[in-house]
A and B are shown apart, each in its own frame.
Chain A
């Protein structure tokens, strides 16, 4: 039986950003860290510890998966890096969280507008 993804909501900022970073395609750990920083314009950064805490959790829940390794390059000395990609369920969860956040945002905007009207 598939878990109800709504049980996982709301997502923590780190989880949300990791999932969001993977929407652009498979990334390795450092790539995710860079993408998170880029998406937040540098206002939110995660370190390797936080990243892999979340990756572990997301892998276990089936929200992300390991991407097949790139073709082996014999000329490269670099150790091949593991890449992660979003699964369908991960994508659904992100959509659900986005929807939730949209509602929060809408409610926040309405509330702020009413607040400003009362003040004026």
Chain B
């Protein structure tokens, strides 16, 4: 018997059910060696293959052996049973793999249906709001105005209220504003759509249940084993898909409360209307940065974001902006708020919030880092939204349109940072400057939110760089794409990415103070 023949015959023997293989495998191999001369290899191999089919058939159709209770201590009698589970075979694993794959895809498909509908809604929004909000999103200075919104108490209102009145940033104006109404109409889905989704999910679940019962009915012994193995494999697949090889949401910066929310000592919420007369610019308090877009460039320190310097918080804006602030989303992240009624996004429904932080909490905040201080204020704002707007939310990760930042063919035009430089990003109305900033920091900064989408760094560049993006006053916001291509040698390519979103379960207009 040649080595190849021995290997082939051995492989066929190994394909037999484990119990048979262990009992008769070596005997079969011996007998094959002995009979080779007289019978020929082809006949013996054919015989082994026929035997293989018979063994698996017999195994699949074998009745389940009775489960025997263990004769045990009288106190435990009848409480425990020993089940002869047997060993898993290749056949068991194959069946279980197929079943677990079907389960995995069925569950995934069923779970994804609502997301597909939501994604369709978002697409509808994207194609419809071609006006004001997009313009705002293109404007780095607007995003920058998010920073320090609470730093100067009354001055913070420039970020959201007065800036709009100044006409520097225009939220929701123009013909595209109607797009949000469309979104509102689509959000909940039509009853017919919901019914179709429910039917599809029901069909998928029924199919899975039928397949499972089929295995159990067909042969209880193997069926039970296959189902158990399938569930095990499903668990492994799920852990690999969502655990060991996680798909974390990109830019998962949404702030989640991990403890009971703190509350403002006192807070007033009232509807706000833009003043008829443009007030004279209010000088920034000493020591505080001026957040007005028309003023000096607003600085954003990637490593040390500013903290809370007073015990007052003053915010003016539509509720979507309040939500973005409270959940630590850069302004322009409306895409990450799902399920909101139209008035939440409407500039016609702006509110003014004036609140005071409890003195003991503010004293405690003085020992915190600036980041921790900002988080405390975020949590206070979440508490306020829950209390006055009856806000209830949950969080989901959804695939949303994004941009990938890549290097153009000619290579990047970034200048490596000089040693010792302090990382800093700054933006004015027509210029964005980075000093010793990594591209990862840049894409995570609020300065780079084209069309309100998140940006994924796919440049492969890991160092820190100095750069400047200069635009012209009044330039088309879409030119930002051209500017970074021409001046940085980088390009924004449409992409999709898993993004953590805030799903609004309930929100209502605030009650009177």
Contacts and interface: CB of A to CB of B under 8 A. Distances in A.
Interface of A: 28-30, 33, 37, 45-53, 55-56, 79, 81-82
Contacts of A33: 31, 34-35
Nearest to A55: B24
A112 B51 CA distance: 37
A50 B47 contact: yes
Contacts of A55: 24
A35 B347 CA distance: 97
Interface of B: 20, 23-24, 26-28, 30-32, 34-35, 38-39, 43-44, 46-52, 54-55
A48 B38 CA distance: 13
A40 B220 CA distance: 41
A48 B32 contact: yes
Q: Output the residue of B20, B26, B39 with the most chain A CB within 10 A.
A: B39
Contacts of A82: 27
A29 B31 contact: yes
Contacts of A46: 47
A35 B55 CA distance: 24
Contact of A49 (B34, B38, B47): B47
Contacts of B54: 53
Contacts of B50: 49-50
A48 B43 contact: no
Contacts of A52: 20, 24, 27-28, 51
A30 B31 contact: yes
A59 B353 CA distance: 87
A53 B46 CA distance: 14
Contacts of B47: 46-50
12 contacts: A29-B28, A30-B31, A33-B35, A46-B47, A47-B39, A47-B43, A48-B51, A52-B20, A53-B51, A56-B23, A56-B24, A79-B26
Contacts of A81: 27, 30
A5 to B, nearest CB: 20
B35 A49 contact: no
A33 B28 CA distance: 11
Contacts of B39: 45, 47
Nearest to B9: A48
Given A29-B28, A33-B34, A48-B44, 5 more contacts: A28-B27, A48-B31, A49-B28, A49-B48, A56-B23
B27 A29 contact: yes
Contacts of A79: 26, 30
A44 B34 CA distance: 17
B149 to A, nearest CB: 79
A69 B479 CA distance: 90
A49 B52 contact: yes
A29 B218 CA distance: 34
Given A33-B35, A56-B23, A49 B51 contact: yes
Contacts of B52: 49
Contacts of B34: 30, 33
A30 B39 CA distance: 12
A53 B48 contact: no
B20 A29 contact: no
Contacts of A56: 20, 23-24
A57 to B, nearest CB: 8
A46 B50 CA distance: 12
Contacts of A37: 38
Contacts of B49: 49
A54 to B, nearest CB: 10
Contacts of A30: 30-31, 34-35
Nearest to A45: B39
A56 B35 CA distance: 20
Contacts of B44: 47-49
A37 B38 CA distance: 11
